[in-house]
Amino acid sequence: MSQVPAPDLARLRARYPQIFDRPASARLATPAMVLLALGVFVFGLVDLDFSPTRFILGLRELGWITSMMLPPDPGSSFPVYLRALGETLSIALLGTTLAAVMALPISLLAARNIVPEVLRFPVRRLLDSIRGIDTLIWALVWINVVGLGPFAGVLAIAVSDFGAFGKLFSEAIEAADHREVEGIRASGGNALHEIRFGLMPQVLPVIAGQVLYFIESNTRSATIIGIVGAGGIGLQLAEQIRVLEWQKVSFLILMILVAVAAIDWISGRLRFAIIGRRAVA
């Protein structure tokens, strides 16, 4: 058997100085970052009034609450909850559709390959600002306008998703392949033909996938906007938590889990049907 010659350490060292003699700044960077992260963490714990006694007392309380939650039981209000769940699903569907319809024209104004930068920049910033505000805050604003109830929830989801869709759609338009549009133009199509036959077939499946995904995620958002009074199952949930009816609370949470899983499944199937298995990831 051949023997492996002993490595010539001195030569290796001379050849790869960046591996053997890393500068102190490179060696210390990681520990310094970890230390900084830990420092901020500890400062946060102190500043946010964390205390072991509160933690342990809270855990005991939480254990008690959990034991009170079992078994889940709606009492006599199951029909009311079912109605509220239907309201939640309606809010999600309507809000998302409304947002998509509003965002489609605006997204053209935010796409680099359609409008000049001068116009694109303010539109982009506007969309960013809308997205920066949480759905719950929009719900509070709309309650001031159309009153308490699910309609305020629809409008809140529509506005906050409008910001997200505007950005996503415009990115889909920017990512579209230019050659297909050129092909249409080469065969004698006008500008409208270019958009209809060159751009839309590329962009629409992407948009449809995103809209379906948002209906899914908005089912989750729609469950909580009731907490501020904008209708849906969140209203029931917040009420039951406040009056400490833990069995009803756990039942409502179960209902939400089941509904979200069902919507996930349906929209997953639809997305497969629209854009094919590969693109869903």
- The site for another protein (CB under 8 A) is made up of 37, 40-41, 43-45, 47-50, 54-55, 58-59, 61-62, 65, 86-87, 89-91, 93-94, 97, 128-129, 132-134, 136-137, 140-142, 144-147, 149-151, 153-155, 220-221, 223-224, 227-228, 231, 234, 237-238, 241, 244, 249, 253, 256-257, 260-261
d(CA 42, CA 91): 41
Q: CB 182 → another protein: shortest distance, Å?
A: 21
Q: How far is CA 73 from CA 68, 122, 246, in A?
A: 11, 52, 9
Q: CB 8 → another protein: shortest distance, Å?
A: 26
Q: CB 50 → another protein: shortest distance, Å?
A: 6
- Three-state secondary-structure class, residue 175: helix
Q: How far is CA 64 from CA 1, 73, 235, 252, in A?
A: 70, 17, 24, 18
Nearer to another protein, 114 or 238 (CB): 238
d(CA 181, CA 203): 12
Nearer to another protein, 14 or 204 (CB): 204
Which residue reads 């104004």 in tokens? 109
Nearer to another protein, 104 or 241 (CB): 241
Q: Where are the alpha helices (DSSP H) in 2-111?
A: 9-15, 17-20, 24-47, 52-69, 78-109
**Chain-centre distance for alpha carbon 33:** 29
Nearer to another protein, 100 or 106 (CB): 100
Q: CB 261 → another protein: shortest distance, Å?
A: 8
Q: CB 11 → another protein: shortest distance, Å?
A: 27
Q: CB 85 → another protein: shortest distance, Å?
A: 10
Q: Are 215 and 96 in contact (CB under 8 A)?
A: yes
Q: How far apart are the first and last CA of the chain?
A: 50
Nearer to another protein, 11 or 242 (CB): 242
Nearer to another protein, 146 or 191 (CB): 146
